[in-house]
Amino acid sequence: MSNVHLRLVSQTVYRNFVQNHWKFNRNFAFESNRRLLSNTSTANPTTGNAKSRVNIKTIAAVAVIPTAYMAYDYFRRKQEKINYKEPDIVTVDRVPNVPIDYKIVGLNDKTNLDLILFRCQTCPFCCKMIAYLNSKGLSYSVVSVDEPFERRVKWSHYKQVPCVLARTKDGKYIELTNSSVVISILAALTNDPEQNIEDLAKMYPKISYVKANGVKKHGIVNKYDLMYNGKLPKGVTLESIHEEFRWRDWADHQFVHMVYPNIYRTHAEALETYNWFSELGKWDQMYPSWMTYLMVHAGATYMFLISKRLKKRHHLWDDVRAQFYEVCNKWTDELDRLKTPFHGGKAPDLADLAVFGAMNSFVGCQTFTDLMNNTRIKPWFDAMKENAEKNRGTIVAAGVTL
């Protein structure tokens, strides 16, 4: 039952209580008065006073109890944590005043969305977004929010990245969250730019549900569904849609789960990973050297410990590197079965982009080198890289404020 319902119920209970209490006291007072009147002949002043004392008590009870209850209810409500329900879609009337890292303009982009991507450079989901935007030649601006002390996208209630602002037809900006949902929405729009982005965003509601094993979950259950609105893109079949769905899910839930336990596998590897982050984020230009040192060492130690928890949570093997090889082999086995350069055939599909994007988030780490040397994934990865570079728009601005 929601808080609103509870509140309504408590108000009803309260009303009934007051009414019944009042009825009871009125009857009581009426009965007392009747008895008082019938006893007038024998009445003495003391008894009369006693009766009026009862009435005063009754009146006091009627007045004090509800007032006390109302005061209690007022303070209780003031203290209670409101069950805040996020609206299904969030719009903002202007772009926040934030510095952008760079802007890409895709000459063939028909969507007119003026996308702004808030990302962390080493987040697998953000890298997946960039892989998608580049491969489709879309225009977008990138805002980095990965400085350790400035992680939040402060203007937003959403506390994660990636987070995307996209211009609607009436010039406002809509906030899109969850990498898979954003990609599904953009896939529908690039296929048919006439579709309305707000209508599309409403088609991916956040819901709570209980699984067959009784576990409560919440999320966007249809995030991999593509709203083609009856206009299937060229070469797309129901079977290819199904396979793309299945492997996108696999990329997000099998492949990505391998990343953190591997790049933070040992304390030494975690340090190496953080040193790469600090190089990528140019921390030495932003912070004094003692702070960079502290951030690298504290971050590496923290993530080393977290990676152990993740390993347990996802029931991973003791040798997570060997398991990562297995996972990569599963992907290359699938490519072998299809006998095409990409999962999507001659061109990458959304599953290719999900795996490729996640891999880009750790290209500077030992894990990446090991995957390249010990699995058969390299030729596919190189082909994906070439494809992304070929299709990406041009960089027109870097280091400016929006």
Alpha helices in 205-288 (DSSP H): 238-250, 256-263, 267-280, 283-286
Q: How far apart, in whole angstroms, are the C-alpha atoms of residue 138 and residue 145? A: 21
Please give the Cα distance from 347 to 353 (Å, whole number): 10
Binding mask 172-211 for ligand GSH (x = CB under 6 A): ------xxx-------------------------------
Is 21 or 314 the residue whose CB approaches ligand GSH more closely?
314
Q: Which is nearer to ligand GSH, 253 or 312 (CB)?
A: 253
Instruction: State the minimum distance, in angstroms, from the CB of residue 335 to ligand GSH.
Output: 24
Among 25, 32, 160, 301, binds ligand GSH (CB under 6 A): 160
The secondary structure of residue 152, as a DSSP letter, is S
Nearer to ligand GSH, 144 or 178 (CB): 178
Q: Write down the least CB distance from residue 281 to ligand GSH, Å.
A: 14
Looking at this protein, which amino acid is placed at residue 359? M
* 41 CA to centre of own chain: 80
| 3-38 and 45-79 helices, crossing angle to 10° | 180
The single-letter code of the amino acid at 206 is: K
The nearer residue to ligand GSH, 98 or 347, going by C-beta atoms, is: 98
Give the residue among 186, 174, 130, 123 at the shortest CA–CA distance from 395: 130
Stretch that binds ligand GSH, among 48-56, 160-168, 282-290, 324-332 (CB under 6 A): 160-168
CB of 115 to ligand GSH, least distance (A): 15
95/117 Cα distance (integer angstroms): 11
Binding letters toward ligand GSH, positions 115-154, x by CB under 6 A:
-----x--x-x-----------------------------
Least distance from ligand GSH to the Cβ atom of residue 357, Å: 10
Q: Which residue has the tokens 């060997």?
A: 322
SS3 content of the chain, % helix, strand, coil (to 5): 55, 10, 30
Count residues near ligand GSH (CB under 6 A): 10
Rule CB under 6 A: say whether 159 interacts with ligand GSH. Answer: yes
User: How far is Cα 101 from Cα 106, in angstroms, rounded to an integer?
Assistant: 17
The three-class DSSP label of residue 39 is: coil
Residue nearest to ligand GSH (CB): 160
Q: Contact at 8 Å (CB) between 88 and 202?
A: yes
Closest distance to ligand GSH from the beta carbon of 160 (Å): 3
Which CB atom, from 36 or from 188, has the smaller least distance to ligand GSH? 188
- In the complex, the smallest distance separating the C-beta of residue 157 from ligand GSH, rounded to whole angstroms, is 12
Residues lying near ligand GSH in the complex (CB under 6 A)? 120, 123, 125, 159-162, 178-180
